[in-house]
């Protein structure tokens, strides 16, 4: 199921959008402040992010810059009462994929979300250095050559590529790939060693976890 995160402090707006998206088989997670949104997106990246601009603990434009810097594959749609042309231009120049002025039609917003999802499905290949991830074929290539990976190796490689250059905690990797919430296992280390043998450059960050070099 497609996933959407919304950063919006108006609960009534979130409720209306939730109902509309659910009717389109799209799951919605809502966050009323920047801190909660940024904490959530570190753990799980949505397909689309809906970002209000004026928030109790910050500015949606600042959140947009952080999201696009760390997760460029997440489509971002601004939702704002700031509807002047210069505001829209500012948002688009900062990396927003779309800009919707308040008040807006929930049906129109749903159509824009669906359009963003369609564009995302067409843009189903992402690159990180010499690595290429193809979502359609569920393959990873290194220097143009497809790697022979089992399912968990692919999932681990995919997660590294989606978070390229970012230090990933062992606990995060174990939870995301194997569903382990706690406890030690050599499974992660063995899978990282296998990816390294295939030429993928992964640094060990002692006491924390791993990082994919790009």
CATH of the domain at 180: 1.10.10.10
**What's the CA gap between 79 and 97, in Å, rounded?**
12
Provide the pLDDT for residue 183: 59
For residue 50, is pLDDT > 70?
yes
Find where tokens 């088989």 sit. 25
**What's the CA gap between 76 and 78, in Å, rounded?**
7
Average of pLDDT values for 186-203? 94
Residue 8: phi and psi, rounded to 5, are -160, 130
C-beta of residue 100 within 8 angstroms of C-beta of residue 77: yes
141 contacts: CB under 8 Å, gap ≥ 6: 131, 132, 134, 147
Average of pLDDT values for 133-141? 87
Q: Would you place residue 1 in the very low, low, confident or very high pLDDT band (cuts 50, 70, 90)?
A: confident
Residues 28 and 87 in one domain: yes
Total tally of structural domains belonging to the chain: 2
- pTM recorded for the entire structure: 0.62
Show the domain range for 42. 2-122
C-beta of residue 152 within 8 angstroms of C-beta of residue 60: no
Find where tokens 């960050």 sit. 205
Residues 83 and 143 in one domain: no
For the chain, give percent helix, strand, coil, nearest 5: 45, 25, 30
For residue 126, is pLDDT > 90?
no
pLDDT digits (tens, 9 = 90+) for 148-187: 999 999 999 999 998 888 899 998 999 888 887 665 678 9
Residues 146 and 103 in one domain: no
178 contacts: CB under 8 Å, gap ≥ 6: 152, 185, 187, 188
Provide the pLDDT for residue 191: 95
Q: What percent of the chain has a predicted confidence (pLDDT) above 90?
A: 64
For residue 123, is pLDDT > 80?
no
* Burial (0-12, 13-18, 19+ Cβ within 10 Å), 95: middle
Residue at a domain's end among 62, 96, 122: 122
**Which of the residue ranges 8-12, 55-59, 104-108, 117-121 would you say has the lowest mean pLDDT?**
117-121
Residues 26 and 95 in one domain: yes
Provide the pLDDT for residue 182: 60
**What's the CA gap between 158 and 160, in Å, rounded?**
5
For residue 44, is pLDDT > 90?
no
Provide the pLDDT for residue 184: 61
């Amino acid at each position: 199921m497609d996933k959407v995160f919304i950063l919006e402090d108006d609960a009534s707006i979130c409720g209306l959008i939730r109902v509309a998206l659910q009717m389109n088989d799209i799951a919605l997670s809502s966050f009323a402040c920047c801190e909660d949104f940024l904490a959530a997106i570190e753990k799980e990246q949505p397909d689309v992010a809906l970002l209000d601009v004026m928030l109790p603990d910050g500015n949606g434009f600042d959140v947009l810059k952080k999201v696009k810097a760390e997760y460029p594959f997440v489509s971002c749609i601004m939702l704002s009462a700031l509807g002047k042309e210069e505001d829209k231009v500012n948002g688009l120049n900062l990396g927003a994929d779309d800009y919707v002025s308040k008040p807006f039609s929930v049906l129109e917003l749903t159509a824009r979300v669906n359009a963003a999802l369609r564009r995302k499905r067409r843009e189903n290949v992402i690159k990180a250095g010499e690595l290429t991830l193809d979502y359609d074929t569920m393959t990873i290539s290194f220097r143009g050559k497809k790697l022979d990976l089992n399912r968990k190796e692919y999932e681990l490689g995919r997660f590294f590529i989606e978070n390229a250059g970012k230090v990933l905690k062992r606990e995060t990797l174990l939870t995301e790939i194997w569903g382990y919430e706690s406890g030690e296992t050599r499974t992660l280390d063995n899978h990282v060693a296998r990816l390294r043998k295939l030429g993928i450059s992964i640094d060990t960050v002692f006491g924390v976890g791993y990082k994919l070099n790009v």
